[in-house]
Amino acid sequence: MLIKSVRGFHPEYGDSCFIADNATLIGDVIMGEDCSVWFQAVIRGDVNSIRIGDRVNVQDGVVIHGTFEKSSTTIGDDVSIGHNALVHGCTIEDKVLIGMGSIVMDDCVIGIGSVIAAGSVLPKNTVVPPGSVYAGVPARFLKPTSKELLEEEIERIAKNYITYASWFSSE
């Protein structure tokens, strides 16, 4: 893993976090407990702050960044960010699933209990109301999040990644 200080900031993360061997954390990054940062993921807090809650999984190839002096990134608890997603200068509230290959741009706000479908693009300033499924390019409201989707996908994936990370910590 590459853990690098920049501009006087050093990444901080909980003792219970898994950081893959080739993941990168740079600068003003603070991450909570039971998080995982997977292979080739980059969390780059060089130009603005990145705050990540508890039980967040940042899957393979994800990039998290912000915009200098404009847009920081804040991610709540129990969030899953799918493979190769780009999360940039936005706010993601608790219990959110960001699908694989999605792009979430500056100043977007994704409400609690929402899903951003794989391959979706959220343009700057998009506000996703709590409990919404958004999909497409550009992403638009598709339907409300059902109880089944919340429990069987959003919560299940977040819990599964804690299990997956434990496999690597025992090696």
Query: Which CATH number belongs to the domain containing residue 27 in this structure?
Result: 2.160.10.10
Question: Residue 1: pLDDT band by 50, 70, 90 thresholds?
Answer: confident
- Which residues form the domain of 24? 2-169
DSSP 94-153: SS-EE-TT-EE-TT-EE-TT-EE-TT-EE-TT-EE-TTEEEEETTEEEEEEPPHHHIIII
| Structural domain total, the chain | 1
Burial class (CB in 10 A: 0-12, 13-18, 19+), 119: middle
pTM (global) more than 0.85:
yes
pLDDT tens track for 63-113: 999 999 999 999 999 999 999 999 999 999 999 999 999 999 999 999 999
pLDDT tens track for 100-124: 999 999 999 999 999 999 999 999 9
